[in-house]
Amino acid sequence: MADPAIHHETQPINQIAIDYTPEACTHCPESNSITLTYDHRGGARWRSTTRFLYGTFSSLIQCPKGNTSGLNFNIYLSSLEGDRSQDEIDFEFLGKDKSIVQTNYYASGTGNREEIHDLGFDCSDAFHEYVIKWCPNFIEWLTDGKLVRKEEKREGMGFPEKPMFLYASIWDASSIGEATWTGPYIGCDAPYVCLYKDICVPSGTAVECSCDS
């Protein structure tokens, strides 16, 4: 586990673990790039090999082209994917509409804090930067340097406090809400490729910075 000192200096991600379908995930450490593919094999998910307690996490992402209805592609933090008591902080793209992004966070397994944001662009048209800044007393989500959401810790309200991995995945979410969330899966433009580059995680073991809100 990384040192819990608050640090917002970043470094390229050097190693990843692939949780499933490794043949659909390509990692090139030399160029700091990762490719996720959704096709007949299903999707794939990668994560950092280290948990972090606070810091700044970022990536340039070009989302899949074509008709991506039904798919979810993302970048997020989680204390452990699949744990019902997990903490989590999300950027999620909903395949039915590539001009928006959903942000959300969980504390001890409780979420339902979704917000939808108009990106002002098609997330598949080019690479765009997505940043999560996580501090003990607030979270910020930024796209291309623009603050799109800020949540401050409030007394009596759950807030992410567990060390978390950086994750990203692409998967068919069309079964959720009877396809109302990401739309019905069409698949006419498969394979769908989500590109990540310049992926950065907190650096060092005791890099201090101000996290005043």
Confidence of residue 203 (pLDDT cuts 50, 70, 90): confident
Of the residues 92, 114, 129, 208, which is catalytic?
92
* Cis, peptide link before residue 12, omega less than 30° from 0: no
- Judge whether 115 counts as a catalytic residue: no
Q: In the chain, what are the domains?
A: 10-207 (2.60.120.200)
The residue-averaged pLDDT of 185-213 equals 78
Please say if 140 is a catalytic residue. no
Q: Are 77 and 165 in contact (CB under 8 A)?
A: yes
Least confident of 1-5, 172-176, 183-187, 206-210: 206-210
pTM of the model: 0.91
Please pick, among 81, 88, 151, 208, the residue that the annotation labels catalytic.
88
Longest dimension (CA), the chain: 49
